[in-house]
Amino acid sequence: SDGFHSQCLIKPEKSWKNFNIHPEAYKIHKISLEDLNDGYSIQDVSEWLQKIALLMPDINLGKVFFSDNPQYEAHWISQLFLNNSKYPGFRIADSRNLISGIKNTNKINDADFDRILEKTRDIAPHTHNAIDDAKFWALFYNELIKVRP
């Protein structure tokens, strides 16, 4: 994949009453409410995501962003677009299902799969930072598709 990695903070909307950051989320991501208040507007971010989706190939299921936590991502994407009265034009799918499908299709045995996983973790640790995690999944995907059945 020749994809790219990008991240941005989204400024909470005034309509998101009682918006707060859970202490556990802060421990993992190290992003405060003050940091978010300096973020981009939901309109800017939703337009940016739509532009990215237009550049993506249209696979047989439509435009797809992959995530290791698609339910969580889908919740925030829906909030983003509902507050902006727009339709996203893409969907969120589980990257673990993609990886599992590649493993099965390419007949990758468990030992080779684990070896590739460890190699990927050494190069691109999975840290719960959006950019780091995207790099991890992209590298893992690229290493797995190199294995031929």
Q: What is the pLDDT of residues 7-63, one digit of tens each?
A: 788 888 877 767 777 788 788 878 888 888 899 998 898 888 888 888 887 766 678
Residues 44 and 67: their CA atoms lie apart, in Å, by 21
**Can you tell me whether residue 131 is helix, strand or coil?**
helix
What pLDDT is stored for residue 1 in this prediction? 38
Quick check: 75 pLDDT over 80?
yes
Amino acid symbol at 13: E
What pLDDT is stored for residue 4 in this prediction? 59
Quick check: 111 pLDDT over 90?
yes
73 versus 1: the higher-pLDDT residue is 73
